[in-house]
Chain A
Amino acid sequence: MESSSVLELRNVTKKLGNKNVVDDLSFSIQSGEVFGLLGPNGAGKTTTIRMIAGLISKSNGKVFINGVDADENFKQVMSEMGAIVENPEMYKFLTGYQNLLHFARMAQVSITKERIKEVIKLVDLEKNIHRKVKTYSLGMRQRLGVAQAILHKPSLLIFDEPTNGLDPQGIYEFRTYLKKLTEQGVAVMVSSHLLAEMQQMCDRVAIIQEGKLIDISSVHELREDHGADTLVQFEVDQPELAKEKLTDFEFEIVDGYLQCPAKRSDIPSINKKLVQANIQVFGISSKNPSLEEKFLAITKGGEEV
């Protein structure tokens, strides 16, 4: 099993003073998978990423990349990894292209001009690549950050809070690159404190709090119909009337929305009945209750969600 994992953490711990900032963390990520590290600010996400990237030492535990112990063969491990740790800081007095050349020179494999061109095209920076980075917007810097991380075709990508400061368009674009990359078999790890984002981006999400692993859930499992009920919300013109008329469902009114637990396959029929009862439906959304509940519980009221 270990051999097929691109990244594996075993009992990874970081002790600062008397506190375990990261406490006995173990999980593994497979090829082609987007794995999310979800937790409130200060939960130990960045510390975990820093340990994986070798920026800080581990107090305990092991990190394996493609089965190789990161402590024993740092160079090999690093040549198979691409990352953005925190903000995508680049050399501002150099152009985007010069920055990419700088990082390309540091790769173990030799990177051709064509490869650099290809990556620039992928992140859609062709127009601005010869401008100095100090003129870049945060979104452009983020894209340049993605470009430097994927230049050497690593098998593992790590992005720490990749959507921080990005506008919706930028977030959408970022998800598009991720999809392209995972199709090529790359394993991706992202961290975030935003649940909705993680649900859209990841295949599996690990929730951590105070350095401890609370839960790992598969987003697909919950999204697809496995007999489990999800919470469905209907935006309608007369919620009270609907609740009275349609008694076969356990409707509740929350913030003016009609809400009920239902299977995914039931949603069209509920909608049909609402329409037949002459109730206007403006919108339908389904929520993943188990993941959200867990996350709300740990973020204490979920102000950040």
Chain B
Amino acid sequence: MMKLFSLVYNENIKVFKRIRTWIMFGIMAFAVLLMAFLMHQGGQNQDWEQRAQDEIQRYEDQIEAINESMQQAENQENSEQAQQVMPNAEEEISSIQGQIDRLESHLEEGKNPYERNVWTFMSDSTGLIALISLFVVIVAADIVASEFSWGTIKMLMIRPFTRGEILLSKFTTVVLFQIIILALLLMTSWLIGGMYFGFAPLDYESITFTNSGQMEAETVSIEVLKIYGVEFIRLLVIASLAFMISTIMRSNTFAIGIGVFILLSGNIITGLLRQYEWGKYVLFPNLNLTQYIHNLSPPFEGMTLPFSIGVNAVYFVIFMGLTWYIFKKRDIAG
């Protein structure tokens, strides 16, 4: 057990002694700073009631525009084709209407919807986890493949450790990296958000309105933690996929490519799968776990947070099992 700890220690040295890792941390901190700066610029000194009115006006214009184009299409052709022009016009209108209702409720209650503080900033900056995902994919895709490209794999494999133990130490290091970089984002967004927008008590609540127009008070700090939690699970599964591809293909570029493709194309693939009943058992729709935190309706009926976590767990076990099986049998040459 102590010896396994030494392996993990070694792997961490190899991650953190590389300049690349520190560049990643730098880019992340810079992104947080830039985001805070840009948000700070965006109309802080304007009267919030006026701003809400303007926004409502903009939404109403949008609805009108959609209705008009629907009408035009209906006049020219039959309604079936109109449906094709705007397949989800109904949905879109109702979602815009939801925004209008929300802002109107804010005006009625006299609560500023644009209120910003450290917690709202942290909630907004969870969007930067997309950037972190990219970094995690790079590290996961590289940790085995780089030993091959450096030629050090032979030095590593002639030690008194089984191949399974070597793999375990490497994946543990990926998970540690993921924890560290998520923690860094959490801390920098708290610090920078607090400095730009002011610190607020931990139990600060924001008012949101559900689709049915009900008012809900939410403790933002808890919501932020939930998002980090589910994103951690998502990253774990994507990292295991990149790890598997790089171990099987021995090529980090290929593994990084596939990892990034999955990060970027998840929504498109989910859209394509929607027409199939079995689509909910595919990995992609289940990777988007934040939809449950934001109370959005999932793309498939019967999808819940525990269901998606279960599907993710099954894929994770398959990816890791395959990696282990193939790496154990592989001839290490070249």
Taking a contact as CB atoms under 8 Å apart, the answer to whether B331 and A93 are in contact is no
A-side contacts of B7, CB under 8 Å? 105-106
B155 at the interface (CB under 8 A from A): yes
B-side contacts of A56, CB under 8 Å? 331-333
Taking a contact as CB atoms under 8 Å apart, the answer to whether A108 and B150 are in contact is no
Taking a contact as CB atoms under 8 Å apart, the answer to whether B155 and A78 are in contact is no
B3 at the interface (CB under 8 A from A): yes
A-side contacts of B161, CB under 8 Å? 75, 78, 106
Taking a contact as CB atoms under 8 Å apart, the answer to whether B150 and A92 are in contact is yes
Q: For residue A153, give the distance in angstroms from its CB to the closest CB of chain B.
A: 13
Chain B residue with the shortest CB-CB distance to A52:
B158
Band of interface residues on B: 20 to 34
B110 at the interface (CB under 8 A from A): no
A74 at the interface (CB under 8 A from B): yes
The stretch of A22-30, A80-88, A293-301 that contacts the partner chain: A80-88
Question: Within the complex, which residue of A75, A102, A108 is in contact with B13, where a contact is CB–CB below 8 Å?
Answer: A102
**In the docked arrangement, what's the CA distance between A105 and B158, Å?**
13
Taking a contact as CB atoms under 8 Å apart, the answer to whether B18 and A89 are in contact is no
**In the docked arrangement, what's the CA distance between A75 and B162, Å?**
7
Taking a contact as CB atoms under 8 Å apart, the answer to whether B10 and A106 are in contact is yes
B274 at the interface (CB under 8 A from A): no
Taking a contact as CB atoms under 8 Å apart, the answer to whether B159 and A55 are in contact is no
**In the docked arrangement, what's the CA distance between A81 and B10, Å?**
20
Known contacts A55-B331, A79-B160, A106-B160; is-contact A87 B151 (Cβ 8 Å): yes
Known contacts A55-B154, A90-B152, A105-B6; is-contact A78 B331 (Cβ 8 Å): no
**In the docked arrangement, what's the CA distance between A87 and B157, Å?**
15
Taking a contact as CB atoms under 8 Å apart, the answer to whether A98 and B13 are in contact is yes
A-side contacts of B333, CB under 8 Å? 50, 55-56
B14 at the interface (CB under 8 A from A): yes
Taking a contact as CB atoms under 8 Å apart, the answer to whether A93 and B17 are in contact is yes
Residues 294-331 of B, flagged 1 when their CB comes within 8 A of A and 0 if not, give: 00000000000000000000000000000000000101
B-side contacts of A78, CB under 8 Å? 158-161
B-side contacts of A103, CB under 8 Å? 155, 159
Q: Which of B122-138 contact A (CB under 8 A)?
A: none
B-side contacts of A102, CB under 8 Å? 10, 13-14
A138 at the interface (CB under 8 A from B): no
Q: Provide the main secondary structure of the chain A interface.
A: loop
A107 at the interface (CB under 8 A from B): yes
Known contacts A105-B6, A105-B9, A105-B10; is-contact A86 B151 (Cβ 8 Å): yes
Chain B residue with the shortest CB-CB distance to A77:
B160
A-side contacts of B14, CB under 8 Å? 91, 94, 102
Q: For residue A189, give the distance in angstroms from its CB to the closest CB of chain B.
A: 13
Taking a contact as CB atoms under 8 Å apart, the answer to whether B150 and A85 are in contact is no
Chain B residue with the shortest CB-CB distance to A95:
B17
**In the docked arrangement, what's the CA distance between A240 and B138, Å?**
73
**In the docked arrangement, what's the CA distance between A75 and B160, Å?**
4
B-side contacts of A55, CB under 8 Å? 154, 157-158, 331-333
A-side contacts of B158, CB under 8 Å? 53-55, 78, 81, 83, 85
Q: Which of A31-84 contact B (CB under 8 A)?
A: 50, 53-57, 74-76, 78-79, 81, 83
A-side contacts of B152, CB under 8 Å? 89-91
Taking a contact as CB atoms under 8 Å apart, the answer to whether A54 and B157 are in contact is yes
Q: For residue A258, give the distance in angstroms from its CB to the closest CB of chain B.
A: 48
B-side contacts of A54, CB under 8 Å? 157-158
Q: Which of B141-156 contact A (CB under 8 A)?
A: 150-152, 154-155
Q: For residue A199, give the distance in angstroms from its CB to the closest CB of chain B.
A: 28
Q: For residue B143, give the distance in angstroms from its CB to the closest CB of chain A.
A: 13
Chain B residue with the shortest CB-CB distance to A106:
B159
**In the docked arrangement, what's the CA distance between A56 and B331, Å?**
4
Q: Which of A95-150 contact B (CB under 8 A)?
A: 98, 102-103, 105-108, 148
A-side contacts of B150, CB under 8 Å? 89, 91-92
B-side contacts of A148, CB under 8 Å? 155
**In the docked arrangement, what's the CA distance between A56 and B162, Å?**
13
Taking a contact as CB atoms under 8 Å apart, the answer to whether A93 and B154 are in contact is no
Taking a contact as CB atoms under 8 Å apart, the answer to whether A107 and B160 are in contact is yes
Q: For residue B139, give the distance in angstroms from its CB to the closest CB of chain A.
A: 15
B-side contacts of A57, CB under 8 Å? 329, 331
Chain B residue with the shortest CB-CB distance to A51:
B331
**In the docked arrangement, what's the CA distance between A106 and B154, Å?**
14
Interface set of B (CB-CB < 8 Å, partner A): 3, 6-7, 9-10, 13-14, 17-19, 150-152, 154-155, 157-162, 329, 331-333
Interface set of A (CB-CB < 8 Å, partner B): 50, 53-57, 74-76, 78-79, 81, 83, 85-87, 89-94, 98, 102-103, 105-108, 148
Closest 4 CB pairs of A and B: A89-B151, A56-B331, A105-B6, A79-B160
What are some 23 contacts across the A-B interface (CB < 8 A)?
Answer: A50-B333, A55-B158, A55-B331, A55-B332, A55-B333, A57-B329, A74-B160, A75-B161, A75-B162, A78-B159, A79-B160, A85-B154, A89-B151, A89-B152, A90-B155, A93-B18, A98-B13, A98-B17, A103-B159, A105-B10, A106-B160, A107-B159, A148-B155
Contacts A53-B157, A105-B6 aside, 11 further interface pairs with beta carbons under 8 A come to: A55-B333, A56-B332, A57-B331, A74-B162, A78-B160, A85-B158, A89-B151, A89-B154, A94-B17, A103-B155, A106-B160
